[in-house]
């Protein structure tokens, strides 16, 4: 997908009613299949992150309307759940959102004239989601009658059509504690948990993957991302992980699955049982991970599910009953020594092989495995009670980390441990958790983009470069480009990447049309504009000055020292040459020092 415009009719965070932001302009439509990320820049508190938050909240709301599964107690009920989910109310509650999707996603239901963005280019479909306050949102396909898009016919889409024109995935990341951005993603994570739990307790088949398309990456997923890439290595992965970070692969890792936690069966199943069976814990409850295990068919053949596949791929495994006195629960230890045989086993059970290129197949296989891990990791939210979960579903401002928590390591349903990496120049054992903050952040964000490089997705990355060193900041956009342009197929994927940043290096690798500078006016209203100068290839000094309003290239403390020394110029008993030498000796090289020395010496010549 490719964003065109977002307009808010009601306030959202610091964004006032009437706020409107434009992304792809009409004269740029021919670029909609090219990778040009949008960088939202500005000082802290300028409102740039609120745009990402609004997009996440909007797509969460639309997603909830059209999910095939929604948890019990999630829906609005005037008597029993007056604060439940209603399609008519959302935050923000009044908005218009327009974007492009490739035309082939609507071909099946739209036989009218295609909207061609340029001569010889691929056709696109123009989608508009609009919502008035207190009204259900509507999704339209705009059928254009000319290439200028001045005239169009609105075609109201139905449920199935809407699901096909939404972004394939909405992927979120925040380097800090932007919990307003993460909130809708965590809501969807709990929906994923309830989806699995209800299929389990109601004895309904579950295909092993969550239905929702929203995925938020935090520390819990870091090991899973690397494992997936190294089990399905490709040239694209090598270019990023080895050439950039020096990681050559993963030597071994362990997965521990806790198979002890039991939950009650659904009420309808309990009600159909005898009183005696209802009091029997074994009969009236079900072990949480059991829906992820296989079953014997009528021919006594095992129909493998997720956990069975992981066992078959393992180098060794064992069941440890020692921690559970009831003799029923156990911890499943799965050990993997990663070699060609291990990779072939994962290819057999999780691999894809019918795509247009080898890299496509590798990426789809890694994503398939990652989504399986996603299901297992989602089960770690088993300890969140229904009251807390209901509060989370109904809130538009809760701080997730203060409201919910992941259990301690030994109490988690799924954990990855002892992931031992192979890295250039490192001979001792190197575990994934021993990587630096910057390495983790780069692997989180770039690794995530690598996983979804063939998907028509929306990426919302909030300050993805904060822990990176200057070299990695300078090359961050080019590294993203390497991830997203692995081959000719990936170059034709219509995706959207929005990132917020304070780094002039990030801005320097973005076209000025794709840089949105945010600031608050004298009335405190958030405004934005494209820079008046060409940001692509501009120096960090110029960008720091023009975008962030910082004219000095040195720190405030050193600048004060410079001014203190320079202020002595012309005072009785002060020799200009001696002051210039003091300044040169005290401060490192900078344009500020050079100019100050020049001013001091000019004062000498003038006197």
In tens, the pLDDT along 203-253 reads 888 877 888 899 998 877 888 999 999 999 998 888 888 888 889 999 999
- Which helix (DSSP H) or strand (DSSP E) does residue 6 occupy? strand 2-8
Q: What is the mean pLDDT of the chain?
A: 88
Give pLDDT, residue 571. 87
Q: Which of 26-40, 347-361, 488-502 has the lowest mean pLDDT?
A: 26-40
Most confident option among 254-263, 322-331, 391-400: 254-263
What band does 91 get if pLDDT is binned at 50, 70 and 90? very high
The residue ranking higher by pLDDT, 325 or 178, is: 325
pLDDT in tens, 272-321: 888 888 888 888 999 999 989 876 556 666 567 899 999 999 999 999 99
Give pLDDT, residue 295. 63
Q: Among candidates 433, 430, 450, 448, which has minimal Cα distance to 239?
A: 450
Contact 593, 580 (CB under 8 A): no
- Tell me: pLDDT of 427 over 90: no
- Tell me: pLDDT of 403 over 80: no
Give pLDDT, residue 139. 96
Q: What is the spatial distance between Cα 133 and Cα 212, in angstroms, rounded to a whole number?
A: 25
The residue ranking higher by pLDDT, 361 or 552, is: 361
Give pLDDT, residue 471. 92
Query: Rounded mean pLDDT of 377-404?
Result: 81
For tokens 């198979």, the residue is 259
Q: Which of 175-179, 318-322, 465-469 has the lowest mean pLDDT?
A: 175-179
Q: Which residues are CB-neighbours of 556 under 8 A, at least 6 positions away? A: none
Give pLDDT, residue 113. 47
Calculate the CA dihedral of residues 263, 267, 273, 277 and round it to 10 degrees.
30
Give the sign of the dihedral formed by CA 279, CA 280, CA 284, CA 287: positive
**Residue 548: half-sphere exposure toward Cβ, Cα within 13 Å:** 20
Cis peptide before 92 (omega within 30 of 0): yes
Contact 359, 235 (CB under 8 A): yes
Query: Rounded mean pLDDT of 16-38?
Result: 89
Give pLDDT, residue 324. 84
Query: Rounded mean pLDDT of 421-440?
Result: 89
For the chain, what percentages of helix, strand and coil (3-state, to nearest 5) are there? Answer: 40, 20, 40
- Tell me: pLDDT of 605 over 60: no
* β-bridge pairing 170-174 and 458-462: parallel
Helix (H, G, I), strand (E, B) or coil at 50: helix
Distances in Å between the Cα of 459 and the Cα atoms of 99, 146, 167, 186 are 14, 31, 10, 16
Distances in Å between the Cα of 394 and the Cα atoms of 33, 86, 387 are 37, 10, 11
What band does 120 get if pLDDT is binned at 50, 70 and 90? very low
Q: Among candidates 568, 561, 559, which has minimal Cα distance to 591?
A: 559
Helix (H, G, I), strand (E, B) or coil at 397: coil
Query: Rounded mean pLDDT of 174-194?
Result: 85
Q: Among candidates 140, 141, 120, which has minimal Cα distance to 131?
A: 140
- Tell me: pLDDT of 148 over 70: no
Helix (H, G, I), strand (E, B) or coil at 135: coil
Give pLDDT, residue 111. 60
Q: Among candidates 86, 92, 11, 33, which has minimal Cα distance to 57?
A: 92
- Tell me: pLDDT of 606 over 60: no
Helix (H, G, I), strand (E, B) or coil at 443: helix
Give pLDDT, residue 54. 96
Give pLDDT, residue 518. 96
- Tell me: pLDDT of 604 over 60: no
Tokens of 82: 């007056």
């Amino acid at each position: 997908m490719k964003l065109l415009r977002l307009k808010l009719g009601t306030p959202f965070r610091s964004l006032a009613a009437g706020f409107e932001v434009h992304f792809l302009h009409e004269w740029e439509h021919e670029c909609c299949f090219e990778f040009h990320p949008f960088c939202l820049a500005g000082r802290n508190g300028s409102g740039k992150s609120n745009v990402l938050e609004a997009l996440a909240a909007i797509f969460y709301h639309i997603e909830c309307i059209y999910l095939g599964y929604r948890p019990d107690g999630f829906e609005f009920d005037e008597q029993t759940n007056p604060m439940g989910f209603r399609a008519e109310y959302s935050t923000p509650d009044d908005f218009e959102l327009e974007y492009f999707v490739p035309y082939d996603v609507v071909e099946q239901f739209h036989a009218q004239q295609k909207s061609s963005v340029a001569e010889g280019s691929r056709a696109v479909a123009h989608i508009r989601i609009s919502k008035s306050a207190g009204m259900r949102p509507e999704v339209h396909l705009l059928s254009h009658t000319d290439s200028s898009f001045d005239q169009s016919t609105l075609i109201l889409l139905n449920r199935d059509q809407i699901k096909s024109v939404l972004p394939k995935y909405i992927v979120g990341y925040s380097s800090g504690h932007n919990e307003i951005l993460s909130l809708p993603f965590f809501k969807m994570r709990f929906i994923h948990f309830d989806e699995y739990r209800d299929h389990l307790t109601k004895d309904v088949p579950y295909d092993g993957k969550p239905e929702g398309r929203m995925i938020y990456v935090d520390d819990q997923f870091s090991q899973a991302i690397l494992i997936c890439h190294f089990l399905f290595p490709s040239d694209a992965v090598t270019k990023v992980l080895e050439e950039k970070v020096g990681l050559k692969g993963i030597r071994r890792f362990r997965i521990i699955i806790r198979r002890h936690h039991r939950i009650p069966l659904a009420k309808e199943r309990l009600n159909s049982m005898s009183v005696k069976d209802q009091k029997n814990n074994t009969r009236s409850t079900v072990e949480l991970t059991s829906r992820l295990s296989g079953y014997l068919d009528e021919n006594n053949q095992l129909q493998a599910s997720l956990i069975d596949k992981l066992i078959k791929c393992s180098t060794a495994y064992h069941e440890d009953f020692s921690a559970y006195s009831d003799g029923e629960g156990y911890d499943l230890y799965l050990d993997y020594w990663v070699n060609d045989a291990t990779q072939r086993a994962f290819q057999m059970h999780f691999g894809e092989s019918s795509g247009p290129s080898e890299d496509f197949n590798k990426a789809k296989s890694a994503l398939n495995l990652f989504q399986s891990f996603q299901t297992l990791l989602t089960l770690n939210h088993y300890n969140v009670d229904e009251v807390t979960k209901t509060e989370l579903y109904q809130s538009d401002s809760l701080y997730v980390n203060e409201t919910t928590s992941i259990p301690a390591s030994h109490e988690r349903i799924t954990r990855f441990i002892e992931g031992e990496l192979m890295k250039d120049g490192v001979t001792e054992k190197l575990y994934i958790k021993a990587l630096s903050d910057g390495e983790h952040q780069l692997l989180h964000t770039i690794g995530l983009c690598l996983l979804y490089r063939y998907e028509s997705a929306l990426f919302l990355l909030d300050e993805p470069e904060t822990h990176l060193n200057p070299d990695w900041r300078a090359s961050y956009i080019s590294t993203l480009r390497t991830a997203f342009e692995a081959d000719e197929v990936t170059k034709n994927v219509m995706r959207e990447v929005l990132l917020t940043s304070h780094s002039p290096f990030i801005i320097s690798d973005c076209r000025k049309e794709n840089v949105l500078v945010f600031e608050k006016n004298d009335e405190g209203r958030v405004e934005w504009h494209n820079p008046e100068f060409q940001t692509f290839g501009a120096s960090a000094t110029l960008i720091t000055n023009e975008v962030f309003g910082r004219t000095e290239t040195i720190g405030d403390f050193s600048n004060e020292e410079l001014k203190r020394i320079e202020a002595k110029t012309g005072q009785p008993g002060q020799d200009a040459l001696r002051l210039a030498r003091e300044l040169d000796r005290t401060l490192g090289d900078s344009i500020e020092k050079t100019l100050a020395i020049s001013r001091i010496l000019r004062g000498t010549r003038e006197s």
